[in-house]
Amino acid sequence: MSQTAGKLKVDFVNGAVGHRLRFGGGRGQALAKAMGLRAGKTPKIVDATAGLGRDSFLLASLGAQVVMIERSAEMHALLADGMDRAFQEGGAFREIVDRMTLLHGDAKDLLPGLNSEAILIDPMHPPRKSSALVKQELRLVREIVGTDDDAADLVRVALDHASKRVVLKWPQKADPIPGIRPWSHQILGKSTRYDVFMVG
Ligand SMILES: C[S@@+](CC[C@H](N)C(=O)[O-])C[C@H]1O[C@@H](n2cnc3c(N)ncnc32)[C@H](O)[C@@H]1O
């Protein structure tokens, strides 16, 4: 494990993720809306860029089955450890983790073999000028995985294999990723935007 991975921990029970679980806004949150979660509608989700698993955990806490894909061996190990600890915590945490399945590999290779209704893509974006403001945690993730320069290819593969929608999460102020077809609609969060590509 690298020195950086030693400083990072996936913690679904305490901290920001646990807080959001207790006080979050349910299916009205921008991510949930973007993924198509509504009353009576819970799509099968693939999170193609699992990272620290926060988005997957939120979606699973709202009742969705989520298959998570992570290609970095270090991030995958951190995720597996975090899921394990949340499972051991029991109660609601165990129920949520039971809805999450973690895979190791490149989503471009694995998506064709999965049956997904909605695919989430949240690539590591290039550092911006205000990098001092970038959260410490995300800076550490970037030290491990670098920048995901193949995001446009991943979106194209996802569009070929989702039955309902593909959602690209991207900072509101960052330049758009070139080479991707126009989105169907956008959902704007505080600093993040969700470009939703409807399929079929
Ligand atoms: C910005 S982070 C995702 C953060 C995540 N949404 C969360 O809530 O914690 C991007 C992650 O996606 C992974 N990733 C990027 N492209 C990938 C691909 N093609 N297949 C699998 N994992 C990928 C990176 O290794 C990195 O860990």
DSSP letter at 175 equals P
Task: Determine if the pTM surpasses 0.85.
Answer: yes
Ligand 1 atom showing the smallest separation from residue 69 Cα: 21
DSSP letter at 64 equals -
CB 173 within 8 A of CB 179: no
Cα(131)–Cα(35) distance, integer angstroms:
28
One-letter amino acid for residue 32 of the chain:
A
We find that the CATH architecture of domain 3-11+44-162 is 3-Layer(aba) Sandwich (3.40)
Distances (CA, A) of 185 to 53, 66, 176, 200: 25, 23, 14, 15
Neighbours of 159 (CB within 10 A): 16
Task: Please give the structure tokens belonging to residue 30.
Answer: 């921008």
Cα(149)–Cα(141) distance, integer angstroms:
15
CA 51–ligand 1 middle distance (angstroms)? 4
Distances (CA, A) of 8 to 4, 26, 120, 139: 7, 27, 23, 10
Distances (CA, A) of 111 to 27, 62, 76, 127, 133: 25, 23, 17, 27, 33
Residue 34 in 3-state DSSP? helix
Q: What is the pLDDT along the chain (200 residues), one digit of tens a residue?
A: 566 767 899 999 987 777 777 777 788 899 999 999 998 999 999 999 999 999 999 999 999 999 999 999 999 999 999 999 999 999 999 999 999 999 999 999 999 999 999 999 999 987 765 555 557 888 889 999 998 899 999 999 999 999 999 999 999 888 888 999 999 999 998 889 999 999 98
Residue 4's nearest CA partner among 159, 139, 100, 115 is 139
CA 67–ligand 1 middle distance (angstroms)? 13
CA 75–ligand 1 middle distance (angstroms)? 9
To test the ligand 1 pocket, which listed residue (21, 68, 71, 78) has its Cβ within 8 A of the most ligand atoms?
71
Scanning the structure block, which residue is given the tokens 């959602």?
Answer: 167
Question: Domains of the chain: which residue ranges?
Answer: 3-11+44-162
Give the chain's end-to-end CA distance (angstroms, integer): 42
Region for 2 from its dihedrals, namely left if φ exceeds 0, alpha if ψ lies in -120 to 50, beta otherwise: beta
DSSP letter at 177 equals P
One-letter amino acid for residue 183 of the chain:
W
CA 94–ligand 1 middle distance (angstroms)? 23
Residue 48's nearest CA partner among 131, 193, 157 is 157
Within 6 A (CB) of ligand 1 lie 48-49, 51-55, 69-72, 75, 106-108, 122-124, 141, 145, 148, 154
